[in-house]
Structures are given as C-alpha cells and as structure tokens.
Chain A
Amino acid sequence: MRYYLLEPLDTLFFRDGSPFNAGETGQMEVLGTFPPSPTTVVGALRAAFARRLGWQYGDWSEDIKKKLGDGADLGPLRFSGTYVAKDGEPLFPVPLHLLRSGRTLVFLRPGEAALSTDIGEAQLPEISTRTKGLKPLEKAYLTRRGMEKALRGETPDPEDVFEASELWSGENRVGIQRDPDSRTTNEDALYQTTHVRLKKGVALAAGVEGYEGEAPGLLTLGGESRMANLKPCELSLPEAPSLEPGGGSLRYTATLITPARIRDEGWRKPGGALPGLPGRVVSACVGKPVLIGGWDTEKKKPLPLEPYLPPGSTWFMEAEAAKPDEVKEMHTRHIGDKREWGYGQILIGGWR
C-alpha cells in the first residue's frame, strides 16, 4: 500500500446531506462535515489519477477504466483511510471505550452482571472508578503511540490525545450567487456554508494499492473545488498487541478506525458476531451513526444517505482460546460493505 498526504492549500468544504437549492427559503445554511468520507477522498484521488493519465473531461477511456475502474467498480484499486495526519504522522479516532475527565483517562469494560435490556441480556460497558465528569472522546484523536497503548489495554498519556479543535476549526462563509451573463446578484441567492480550516501541519492521508503511476501533485478536494497538494508519504498503522487467552477463552477488542456499514445484525446484540472476526460479541461501545451519501453524477441524482457505524466504535469480543492468530490476522483489515474503498478498517486490541 502506498500512502499519500493530502495537504489543503485552502479551507475545505465537505457538505452534509441538507438540501441546497438556489432561490429557496431565504438564506440557506449548509453544514460542513470533517473528516470527509472515504467515498469523497477516493473520488478525488481517482479523478486526479485519471487526469495524470491524460483524461480531461467526459467519459474515461477504456485504458483508464482498466487502470482505475469505472463508477462504483474500483477495478484494480484498493484504498485505506481516510486518516487525519499531524506533522506527517497518522492520528486515529479515540476508541469509544476510553473516557476522559480533565487529564484522567479511564476505560469502560463490560460489567460483570448482565442487565435485561431492549437488546437482550447485556453486560453493558461501565467504569469501575467514581471519577466525576468522565465523557467519551467522540471528537478526539490518538497518536499512533497512544493507540498502541490503548490496544494493549494501557491508558494513553494525555499528550497523545488531540481534540478536533486542536486540529481544525470551522469557518462560516456567506456566499452570493451571481448571474454569469449579467454579472449581477441573483435574487434570494444568499447562502451560508461551513468550511474547515486545518491547523498548521494537519492534513488528510489515504492509502492506495493498484495505482503505480506518478503522484498527481495538485488536486481538487471536496465542495467548491478547493485545492490540495498530494504527496507520497510513509505511514504506519498501530501494531497489534499480543493476545493472551485466559480462563479458557480469548478476549479481544475490535475498534473501527474508518466508518463501517455492516448489514448483519450481529453488531448490535450481545452474543452476536462481526463479519470475519472469530467469536461472539460480549458488549460494545458504539456511537451514533454517521450518515454518508453523495451525488451520482451519471444518473444525476443523490446517492442514498446511509447510516454507517462511526469510527471509534469498539466491540468486546470473546473467542476460543486457540484463535489468537486468526484474530490478529484481522488487525488493520476491513469489514462490511465497500471495503476496497477504505470503509470498515479495524484494529484489534485486548481486554481482560
């Protein structure tokens, strides 16, 4: 896998799903999201690769299709990410079973006693301390070192945690639409968007397999065709910890680092299963779904807005004691739909 950094040269804008039609409801407001979905980044990368291969506009040539696929078919291409990177090092969404209050970090673990709930008898995740004000770090990132500690079941150092606000900030933009012919302002065409401005040293990163050509350099990324510089980089994902069986079984965690769409119901019930992962679900810390859609340029219609499991979601799994290798084999692999696009990448950790 070759990795690339996408360094923005400007603010970036990735819109959410709200309708955005000119001339409606006074001032339109469109919120931005960040980081963008893998689909957005893969789309930008493929377009940039195609340009490098000679494409300018219109349909891709057969030669390009052979190298870069066509539409939803990625051909020989495989992606991983999108990751957020700081000073060239990747950051990872904080696993949702890690809570913080001030500088204190604490793990949630499945409770001893099962409670009767709407999802069945569940050992819901809980904390063992009485520390007040503990909250999940839903908008924060861990350094690779911090993530490796978390995967080993050790508390990361507070210095390994970056809040989203330390990495980027939102910027409201008010825009007006102009009539290109008359060069006057269109009526009712005031709109507001929220761009993101990445802090110094912060970039996006993605892995690509199957494209051997040169890096295209500049590319447009996201809405309003903002520019980013694409450059190859070295990027290492966290290493898996050693997994040790105990009491006749092997306990491990599976943490998503990119959004996942898993159609099987196993992820949402005690005793369920995750695709490709040995053993059963004991408990989980799962966040609110992220909704990912887009625009189908060929059919000129919106792609369905679908719910994805958010990065950071962590399942507590229990497998047969003899399966550590099989479990570790899944470290950094992808599960669920659209794996080749970078969705559903997981990291394996331990819990006792």
Chain B
Amino acid sequence: MKLLHFTLGPVQGFVSQARRTRDLWSGSFLLSYLSGQAMRAVLDGGGKIAFPDVGGQTNVTDPLLAAIMRRPLSTDENPQIGSLPNRFKAEVPDDFDPKRCRDAVQSGWKGIADVVWERYVAPVAEHGNGTKEIWERQVESFWEMSWVSGEDPGDRSDQRWLDLRKNWRTHHPPAEPGDKCTLMGNWQEISGYVRARKRKSQDAFWNALRQESGELNLGEHERLCAIALIKRLFPGVAEEVIGWKLEAGTWPSTPYMAAVPWIEEAHERSEAKEYLCILEEDGTPRWAFGEYDTKLPCLRGAGRFAKLDGNLFHKTALDNERAMPELSAQKREKLLDVLSKLNRAVGHPASPFYALLLMDGDRLGSLLQHDQIDPKDVSRALARFTEGVDEIVGEHCGRTVYAGGDDVLALLPLDRALSAAEKLRERFLKSFDDVLGVRRPKGEDGEPLRTTISAGLVFAHYNTTLRSVMREAHRLLDEVAKDKNGRDSLAVSVLTGSGRTVEWVSGWEESPGGTLIARHLQNLASSFDEQFAGRFFYNVRERFGVLTGEDDHTLIPGLDAEKLLVAEYLKSREREGDREKAEAVIEQLLKVCRERRGGEPADEGTLDVSGAMLVRFLATKGRGVER
C-alpha cells in the first residue's frame, strides 16, 4: 500500500461567488459531492480513506459518501449538506493510479454539466454566439486537482505533501474573451455576445434561457458562465444525475434571515393576519410566498405569515417598486400602513442584519503531524464534531451551508449567532476531549496540547452582496482571528452596503478557563435599551477613540479607562444615573474592550473601542442607528 494525498479546488473561487444563499449552499454541496467522487474512486480501487473519517468500503459512515456509494444511511437518506472536505488522505494499493480520482471528479462533473446543458441550455443554444464552445471550454478546464503519492515516510511528513505541492501552482484557466459572467466575473457569459455591440441578441438569448429555467433560477440581469449556471441549476436535475432530490427552494433569502427574530414575535399578532388578508384579498399571489418552507426550526408552526417573501418584512424593500414590481400602488400603501402598525405592536421593525458564520480548526496540519497524536484520533474527533454541527445551528434557528472536516459555514439570525459560535466551539473542544481524553499530549509549553477552533462572524445588511460577505468572513477568520490574534479567537465585523463599520476580535474566554466573551457581549447588549445604546456608544467612540492609536489600542499610561467610562455613562444617563450600576456595566463593557489574544488573558493596558461599538450594534440590532 502507498499513501495518496488529493485536493480539489478552487474552493473560494467556486463557493464564495454567490448571489443568493442557495448559491452558497449549492456551490459547497457540489464541491463536496465531487470530492466524494474522488473518494469513491479510492474505495472502488481497493483503497481506504485515512482522513477524514468516513468509515470503510463496507461501512461508510459519512451520509454524503454513503449516498454517493448508493448505500445511503437510514438516518440521512437524502443528504442535503456537503460534509466531505475538498482534500483527503488515502491508503491505496501500489498499482493505484491517482488519475482515477481526477477522472472520477471530471466524469461526475461532466455528468451534471451534460444534464444541465440538455435540459436548459441546448434548447436555446442556437440563439447564442458560440455557446457550445464556451460551455465546453469552461466545463473542461474549471477544476484544479493536485495529488502527491508515495511510500509512507513513517515520520508523518506526508501530511505536508499537499502544502509543498501548493508552492508550485500550475493550474491556469483558459483565456476568456467577451462579456463576463455576472456571478463569476472571470468567466465569459455563455451567450457569447458583447453587450456594447449586440445588446439585443444578448438579451434575446438570456430571455429565452430564463424561460427555460424559470425566473426563480435566473434573475432579470443575470448573465452567467457555464460554471455559475451549473451551480444554479443543478439542484433541479439532482435526482436524475446524483440520485436523490435536493431542496434548493428551502434556502431563506438574506432579508428573510434578517427578519427571523422579528417574525417570531410578529406572526401571531392580529396585524400579521391583517397583512396576509390584504395580500390575499384578490387571490393568493404566488410571488408573495417566496419562502414557502425555509426549514428554520424556530419558525415551524408559524403559519403562512412565515412563508412570505423576506422583502415583505422590511419597509424599505416594500417601499421599493423595483424590489416588488408585482404590487399595485394602492395595495403597497395598504401594506405599508399595516406593516407600520405591526412594527409598533412588536415594538420595533425587523433588523436588516443577518449573520454569516465561518469556523475552522486551528493548526490542523501541525496536529496531524504531531508525533504523539494518532491522526486517526484527529479524524474521529472531527467526525464527532461535524455530526453535531447541524443540530447546534438548527437550535439557533440557522441553516448549515457546509459542515465537513474542521470547517463550518452557517447562516444565522443576528440575535443567536454569537451563542451558536460559542456552542460550536464547545462541541469542537468536547469532541477532542472525548477522543483524546487522558492521551492528550503536552505541547511545547509543557501544558496539555490545545486543540482549538477560530471563527469569523459577519453581521451583514441584507443588501450587501453575498460575495463581499463571504470575502469578509474569510478575511476575519484567516487574517484577523488566526494571523493577527493568534488563533483560538472569534473575530466579528459589521458590514453595511457602504463597507465595514465595526471590526472586533478576541480570544474566546475572558481569561483561560474564564467566562466566555460572547456571553459578555450578549449580556451587555440586552442590558442597554436601544435609544440609550445609540447615544452612549457614539459618544464613547468619539471621546475614547482618541485616547489610543488607531491600530494600536495601548492606553495613555496612568489613564483609568474605567473611571472615565463610568463618568461618560452617568453623564449620558443624566438624572437617572446610579453609580453602582454604572460601575457594574462599565466593568463588563471593559471586558470586551481589551485586546485579548487567543488563549491569553486580556491586556489591561489597552482599550479597544470597537468592542463597545459591537455592543452598540447588538443592542440596537442595527435598526436605524447604524452609521
């Protein structure tokens, strides 16, 4: 037997280039599915997968791989979540040719591409200008696959093989002429016409394709490349090509996800019923029930109101004729009126912000190379972690986009995202504790070796492009939580249409083994009322930002930040100030306003106002006071 390390990409270039939440999911799923094809080639070739832990040829335990092997698990017969990472390690017979993995991926991909072509594109291809050539070029050359194989070196140095291979990037996409895809801007859109010269022909092609695929699958201004089109349309042909149904229609839109906490409060009010009545007074409009079943646990049983298109919960979207062109002016006015009443009844309008959470285990490569850790234990711990992800995300009323290996990507409502991150981390730590137990070796510092995870959490306005949100999540995770803050950290930012307004990072715990910092944030957020929070924190930023440098949060020596903040708090409260209460609040606030590297106690000599600005955001939920 020899070892094989295999990787498939591009990951970010495929998954992150999304316009709708369902694009994110379908990109992740498809990538995972194709990785599963390569794994299947290994199993069929007499090998076994050593990492991740997916079980063996006869007892595959990963639901996606089991379904790919046509032996679906009874607990998850139609897997909907990508659970297989894009790289794996296998033990293969000496005569196993790794090209079999590449061929399996290409053939799985081409199988999907062919059906999408036949079903949707072929009927309109004659309206295009070289559509077939563009399609074939892109389908053929998209995936990048690398592998390294050889005898087991016996010292675990094989864990570095793929990283070494990545030093020499050899995959180049083909030259792409013409107009580019509105989803994946580096690829030509498949009509083949140039808009500046043949706008009408281009529109005719896309209108024809829109008719074939349906408006829901292809938006008014979308002109896609083959890759983006396959990502968008393959759920519709999944049953035929992969053998089971995929439920693309259940993906909540971003305005819907933002409104979730509000829908929970609003759906039983009489105004909600009145709102529905107005919408349905002359028949049931299909377009209005765009979120027919988002499968969000907290909204189960919330009735028809919870099935309304997410735009209908936000005044600005309802007000926008282009966002809701189907509404007559008269009806729009009536709905706006009832929505205002409903907002008053609930006590506030829906927040326009939702959360995207990206998590990733720290230093997995080193862990797998650690000479006192059995790599099988790492695989087992990660499998245990992954198994529990969807349940935790569901408990927080979110949707898991992806959960495989040490990675998680999830959509969550604003008010439960921090708690979800915290619970997922807890699960990660526990999975390793359960598996390693007393066998956990000591690290270089003589302390038990830590197995940690970091997170990037973006609170995004529902209008922000998903691509920017994904880019931000990766930046937060890789650059801020991991590189800058030393891993074992949580990095959070607030993203509006005009850019980032808050960026904050901290180790997970107040001090090693201490209270969780996300809990402090939540407690603080609920202790401020919306109006006061807006005013007080704005003043804090204005006045205290100058006491430290912009990039350096070191306080002027001898300055007592706590006293100053208490004074500011009391001043803002004016007559109702209570010093004892103020001191208690500020003590808590300071806990989230100190620099705190992963796994270390806070640096008391620092003051990072962004912690306060994050509390302000959470307290106001970004409703109307976000600047």
Contacts and interface: CB of A to CB of B under 8 A. Distances in A.
B559 to A, nearest CB: 28
Contacts of A268: 168, 170
A284 B168 CA distance: 6
B167 A108 contact: yes
A264 interface: no
Contact of A19 (B165, B174, B185, B465): B185
A122 B178 CA distance: 37
B150 A286 contact: no
A300 B195 CA distance: 10
B172 to A, nearest CB: 4
Interface string A264-307: 00001100000000000001111111010000000011111111
Contacts of A291: 173, 186
Given A304-B175, A305-B176, A25 B145 contact: no
A284 B112 CA distance: 35
A73 interface: no
Given A25-B219, A188-B322, A286 B168 contact: yes
A122 to B, nearest CB: 7
B161 A289 contact: no
Contacts of B171: 289
Contacts of A96: 167
B20 to A, nearest CB: 11
B286 interface: no
B168 A305 contact: no
Contacts, number: 127
A265 to B, nearest CB: 9
Interface stretch (A42-50, A113-121, A318-326): A113-121
A16 B180 CA distance: 11
B176 A16 contact: no
A124 interface: yes
Contacts of B146: 117-118
Contacts of B74: none
A301 B194 contact: yes
Interface residues of B, number: 49
Contact of B168 (A23, A283, A304): A283
Contacts of B179: 19, 302
Contacts of A300: 194, 196-197
Nearest to B171: A289
Interface residues of A, number: 49
Interface in B119-178: 145-150, 160-161, 164-165, 167-178
Interface in A188-226: 188, 192
Contacts of A115: 148-150, 161, 164-165
Interface string B298-312: 000000000000000
Given A118-B147, A300-B194, A302-B194, A172 B180 contact: no
Interface in B229-280: none
A108 B167 CA distance: 9
Given A118-B147, A300-B194, A306 B169 contact: no
Nearest to A269: B170
A307 B187 CA distance: 12
A285 B463 contact: no
B98 A125 contact: no
Interface in B10-51: 19
Interface string B188-214: 010000111100000000000000000
B177 to A, nearest CB: 4
A124 B196 CA distance: 46
A303 B498 CA distance: 30
A16 B167 CA distance: 25
Contacts of B147: 117-118
20 contacts: A25-B222, A115-B148, A115-B149, A117-B146, A117-B147, A124-B148, A124-B164, A124-B165, A124-B168, A125-B168, A126-B160, A192-B497, A283-B168, A284-B168, A287-B169, A291-B186, A301-B178, A302-B194, A307-B174, A307-B175
Which 4 residue pairs are nearest across A and B when measured between Cβ atoms?
A: A18-B185, A24-B221, A124-B164, A268-B170
Interface of A: 16-19, 21, 23-27, 29, 96-97, 108, 111, 115-119, 122, 124-126, 132, 136, 172, 174, 187-188, 192, 268-269, 283-289, 291, 300-307
